[in-house]
Amino acid sequence: MGIVKVKFKVYNPAGMSKYAEIDGIVDTGVVYSVISASLLNSLALGRLRGGGSWPRWLC
């Protein structure tokens, strides 16, 4: 397992023309991605309702 620097895009599948390019790091041993709420809001991605201690987003 390790950490790798990558450039990737995050987009809303309902409107793929609007996206954000991000320079980030990837931890190859994790299960979930962590992306700021303000970025997800700017792409009009909605928050999923449900249990758990972490907010979940529809991506």
Q: Residue range 1-6: average pLDDT?
A: 81
pTM of the predicted model as reported, rounded to 2 decimal places: 0.61
- Residues 13-41 have pLDDT tens digits of 888 888 999 998 888 777 777 888 888 88
pLDDT at 56: 61
List beta partners, residue 48. 56
Structure tokens of 49?
A: 């309702």
Interior/surface letters 3-27, b for 16+ CB within 10 angstroms, e for the rest: eeeeeeebebeeeeeeeeeeeeeee
> 22: which residues sit within 8 A by CB, 6+ positions away?
7, 8, 9, 10, 35, 39
Measured distance CA(58)–CA(56) in Å, rounded? 7
